[in-house]
Structure 1
Amino acid sequence: MFPFGVDVLTRGAAGRRTRVCRLLAVLTLMGALSSCGISVTSGYNGQVPGREEQKRTNMDAPYGPLYPSDVAVLVAVAQAGYWEAPTSELVAKESKNPRVKAVAAQLAREHHALNMYNEQAATRLNVQLPEAATPQQQSWREQIEAASGDERDRLYVTLTRAAHGSVYMKVATVRATTQNDVVRSLAQVATEYVARHMALLESTGLANSDSVAVHAGTDAPYQPTPTIAEIVMGIGLALVAAFGTLVLVRLAARQALETAEEGVAVE
């Protein structure tokens, strides 16, 4: 058995190592949580189809190989129609701004036409389309519906211009890279529609810098770059979680130390 002094030193060194390990664990957790907090507000940057994506290609698809990015365009067009068409109809009906009113009416008509073309393409390719917009898109529609007057016009132009900017980069990439004839035709039509819609929205004079802050190829269609407030919120949530973890670790360490001291006292 070690002398008492050596035993104390050994336990002290072990305690320090334990505290260092705990601190490293907490710091690692903070980093992971911070990353998660930011990533949940961020868009996903898609890539041009490459070798890895080609391995997942459905080589038996009609009209040519069908990449996941090809299907993503069909899905994006469908989801855009679920929120942009009815929102445009509302603005066309209630806006007091003649230019916004005319632009919204044209977008509503053309989204219905594009949706029909997209559904025909999906049917030919045996691709199942979603039945609703994304939660993000639905929240934009609700924001526009809740606003009124000039504020509604501004929100409508800003959000729909940002949405079209995101999907334009996606469909243009697929138009240039797809090997499927049906997808190529759909992407060509969608590119023309979306480019025209961006120009129409910009012609209202209400588009601002927020309407062009978009990611190329977002995973959640039309998701804009996270704002400073969203990033701060993500970091704040991560820090709160990390602080709570640190408190729990310290309480557990204190409890372990008290238990050890009680054991020594009994001996």
Structure 2
Amino acid sequence: MIAARPTRRLQRWVVGTLATVLVVLLAPAGVARAAGAGDVPVPPNTGLTDRGVGALSAADKDFVIKVRLAGLWEIPAGNMAQEKSKDPRIQNIGKNISAQHVLLDQLDREAAKKLGIALPNKPNDDQQLWLDEMKNANATTFDQIYIDRLRAAHGKIFPAIATIRASTRNDTVRKLAQQTNQFVMTHMTLLESSGIVDYGALPTAPAPAAAGKGPVPVDPGMLQAATSSAPGINTSVILLVLAAALVAGVVTTMRIFRAR
């Protein structure tokens, strides 16, 4: 009995060590699966260049102009929110959105100058109508008009940002699109914090395309490259082989100790 104790301790040590190694080897796969569920942080803007390099399309130019137009009406709208609203929440939302659009407008004008794009100096007709509507609203109706008009405008710009961010060949436009998207998401969140968004009145999104017929085709080669550590070698397969080898080692070790 006394002689068996060191053997059992050694047995536990071997099994524990092999189990630990197994966990370490399989951990990357678990982390990758968790990351795929949304745990991966958003890449910073510092990874994007801004040299004005790359072909400039008509859509790129239109996007830069639209960013400018957004500031031309949302800055005065935010100022009105601070002056006309009696709700501190709306006043604060207007203050923040207005201030952030001042910064975004500066980024947009710098990009336009670098790319030689002429920018407008006044809102378009629709935007001016929204500003007039807010100007003529009283303290009772202003808040709902302000929140509804800005949220609708921000909701419409999302598809345009996504298209430009994914398709532009110009690095300055690419970075501006990413920056704009971050501002727009912040503004949507601020507007919804008002607590007066009528979600039931929002337009219904278009029905999704049939399976396998969506607008974004999946490239099998890219999919394989994204899930492989080397051409033709899948990381998951390698980990499974190593895990099987470790399990076999544990079983063999157990048999040896039992034989003793």
Give the TM-score taking structure 2 as reference length. 0.57
How far residue 62 of structure 1 moved from its aligned partner, in angstroms, is 4.3
Q: Which residue of 2 aligns with 1:63?
A: 53
Matched-pair identity in %: 33
Query: Unaligned regions of 5+ residues in structure 1, if any?
Result: 1-60, 217-267
Superposed CA deviations along residues 84-143 of structure 1, whole A, max 9, x for unmatched, are: 101111111231111111111000100111000000000000011112111001000100
Contact 1:175/1:184 (<8 A) preserved? yes
2:131 maps to: 141
Once the two structures are superposed, the pairs formed by residues 10-49 of structure 1 within 5 Å of their partners are: none
- Residue 98 of structure 1 corresponds to 88
**Corresponding residue SS for 1:131:** coil
Give the AA of the match of 2:162.
A
Cα deviation for residue 211 of structure 1 reads 7.5
CA distance in 1, matches of 2:201, 2:170: 32
1:187 maps to 2:177: yes
Give 4+ residue runs of structure 1 displaced > 6 Å after superposition. Answer: none
Are the counterparts in 2 of residues 166 and 214 from structure 1 also a CA contact under 8 Å? no
User: Whole-Å Cα distance in 1 between the matches of residues 161 and 172 of structure 2?
Assistant: 13
The CA RMSD measured in Å over matched residues stands at: 2.1
Residues in 2 aligned to 1:125 and 1:215: alpha-carbon distance in whole angstroms: 35
- Whole-angstrom distance in 1 between the partners of 2:202 and 2:160: 15
- Decide whether aligned partners of structure 1 residues 104 and 173 sit closer, same or farther in structure 2, where only a CA change above 3 A counts: same
Alignment equivalent of 2:98, drawn from 91, 105, 108: 108
Name the structure 1 match of 2:166: 176
Q: Distance in 2 between matches of 1:171 and 1:214?
A: 20
Mark the CA change 1:212 to 1:198 in structure 2 (over 3 Å): closer, same or farther.
farther
Shift of 1:214: 9.4
**Higher relative contact order at CA 8 Å, sep ≥6: structure 1 or structure 2?**
1
The amino acid that maps onto 1:104 is G
Contact kept, 8 Å, 2:84 with 2:142, in 1: the verdict is: no
Q: 2:195 pairs with 187, 194, 205, which one?
A: 205
Aligned pairs, number? 156
Distance 2:205 2:58 in 1: 18
Shift in alpha-carbon separation, 1:109–1:163, aligned structure 2, 3 A: same
Q: TM-score normalised to the size of structure 1?
A: 0.55
The unaligned stretches of length 5 or more in structure 2 are 1-50, 207-260
